[in-house]
Structure 1
């Protein structure tokens, strides 16, 4: 899913797709490639070539403009919570855009087929992300291992630690004797096993991305 680093392309606006705000002059029908900053009558300012958060309103909503994510609208308090959660990923050396995409996919803000329609949008919290990462480190995964695992399976940060991850690690140990170094190698190869919560036992329930039948 996140096997490649995410380049930051220039953002191109035209009259049909440009966002609007009070006092913002309309864009002509000719498409423009904008480099630098857009300022619409001092209402909203943001860096076009690199997604960022800014607002000159005493506003209650913020929009995450990123070249690799959908626009994610948050309150000011939620924005702070989101940015705090990004700190948990800093040791894994992701770019800011990668961090936003990882959190967006893990917590339902960016569509992921992994969740089907079951994942409700949730603002990631630092303590939750840290708890997941600390548990994975307890399974003998290094930060380099975690970088590979989270790139491959960003949704892991949105899985239930108690009901899915810990339960599944116990199942792997008890039923297949998979633990220690063997478990580490398995998780790097197939990290989705941490989120399995269905066993169709051959009678398909159409939740293949989370089914033990894939193991």
Structure 2
């Protein structure tokens, strides 16, 4: 019976973790979509499946810098609001822990690398100096939020976890798997030179 109970409770933690991650992605994309609609996007497309969720929109013209910034940052803001709501909910300490753990999954989008929102934010800089400064600020912000996440998670493990329940053991396993995956994901984005340091790259294209 203890083994069955362990499996059931561990499965519940894995399901909660998966639902939060997927919901966070959906909210992020909805943030882009809502802001695009507010700014007057004429065509919007939503691609939805169990493996991914993304949106596409068309203004019928090239977006100006203000519109590009607003649409880009809206995804992160929506995601952050969801995180705050889940973090301060009083019903589940495990969910609060998961929200803190997954903070880097929100802020990783602001890193100034290809295929991330931060890359589009850096492109808004008018000069190479401004673009370089923006990129460094985004890197610093990601580093700070990741450090906060790690400190909160490790302190929670030290204070509250006794590894006597299936939920705690599962959360520990999730934590270490997530940290490994996060490190590998960052390494993948950091391969090669930083885009804003290249003399001829997309940042300089008109």
| Common topology (TM > 0.5) | no
What TM-score do the two structures reach when normalised by structure 2? 0.26
TM-score for the superposition, normalised by structure 1: 0.25
From the two aligned structures, give the one with the greater helix fraction.
Answer: 2
Larger radius of gyration: 1
